[in-house]
Amino acid sequence: MIEYPAPDLNLMSGPISIGTSTLAFLIYLFTITSERFNKRFQTKFSPPAASVRKILYQRLLGATLFGLIPVLIIVLVFQRPLSQYGFATGNMMKSFLWWIPVAALVVLVTYFGARNKNNLAMYPQIRVRRWNGELLMVSAFSWIAYLAGYEFLFRGYLLFSCLESFGYWPAIIINICIYSLFHVYKGSREAFGSLFFGFLLCYLTLYLGSFWFAIFIHVTMALSNEWFSLGYQPDMKLVKNACKK
């Protein structure tokens, strides 16, 4: 009988993170695209309310799967501090200073890109005609929660685990490949665009030693795109007190 050596956790953290990240995404994707999931909201709420609740639920589900599962694995399985996976707070100011010029460029790009018809077909994700300040804020906070978990999954848990198991460049290549594949269901534009964006976030995360920059810039991109898209949508508008119609 062949005797197999016991797995070395220092080498297995990368494969474990790849497997669990893929599993978390599959659960998320097949949940939000399931007919049962969509019917649940359509039968219980009016179309405008269903649109709001469905998107908020999707983001909360993503924040939980992408953020909580990696934290549990790091704490219970790897038994290591979260700071080893990009959760360091000592260099947050440095990340913030890097964010300022890049954020200005991102806002400029989204200002012109948001008016694209393919973009307007998808964003804002909440498809209601009348937005008020409350909905705008709730959507923004749900984006922040979702993207915080999302970036911890990719630029924290997955990146630093693969760095330990495979080394610097393999960790980046694995990360951007999986990151791009995670965007396939959103279309070719986002799938190919995520290759460059993923590389930039991985490189700066490892340079800065934390994923805070990745969260800052991803939130900037999401919120600026949502707000500009809302302004470009011919059938949507922001009002002071709006019924979600």
Tens digit of each residue's pLDDT (9 = 90 or more) over 183-214: 998 888 889 989 999 999 999 999 999 999 99
pLDDT reported for residue 2:
62
pLDDT in tens, 156-179: 999 999 999 999 999 999 999 999
Return mean pLDDT, the chain.
Answer: 91
Within-domain flag for 7 = no
- What's the longest Cα–Cα distance across the chain? 74
* CA atoms of 211 and 152, how far apart (whole Å): 7
Which residue range forms the structural domain that includes residue 205? 12-238
Instruction: Give 5's pLDDT tier (boundaries 50, 70, 90).
Output: low
* CA atoms of 34 and 38, how far apart (whole Å): 7
Q: Return the higher-pLDDT residue of 41 and 107.
A: 107
Within-domain flag for 243 = no
pLDDT in tens, 217-236: 999 999 999 999 999 999 99
The phi-psi region of residue 103 (left if phi > 0; otherwise alpha if psi is between -120 and 50; otherwise beta) is: alpha
pLDDT reported for residue 147:
97
Instruction: Give 134's pLDDT tier (boundaries 50, 70, 90).
Output: very high
Within-domain flag for 245 = no
pLDDT reported for residue 225:
96
For the chain, report the end-to-end CA distance as a whole number of angstroms: 68
Percent of the chain residues topping a pLDDT of 70:
94
pLDDT reported for residue 3:
63
Within-domain flag for 89 = yes
pLDDT score of 243 more than 60: no
Within-domain flag for 244 = no
* CA atoms of 234 and 171, how far apart (whole Å): 43
Percent of the chain residues topping a pLDDT of 90:
76
Number of separate domains in the chain: 1
pLDDT reported for residue 165:
93
Identify any residues that bridge with 104 across adjacent strands, giving them in sequence order: none
Comparing 11-15, 68-72, 99-103, the range with the smallest average pLDDT is: 11-15
Asked if residue 149 lies in contact with residue 67, where contact means CB atoms within 8 angstroms, the answer is yes
Instruction: Give 215's pLDDT tier (boundaries 50, 70, 90).
Output: very high
User: For residue 134, what are its two tokens?
Assistant: 């409350």
The residue ranges of DSSP E strands in 74-192, in sequence order, are 130-131
Within-domain flag for 4 = no
pLDDT reported for residue 180:
94
> Which residues, in sequence order, are CB contacts of 163 under 8 Å at separation 6+?
14, 171, 206
pTM: 0.90
Within-domain flag for 214 = yes
pLDDT score of 8 more than 80: no
Within-domain flag for 92 = yes
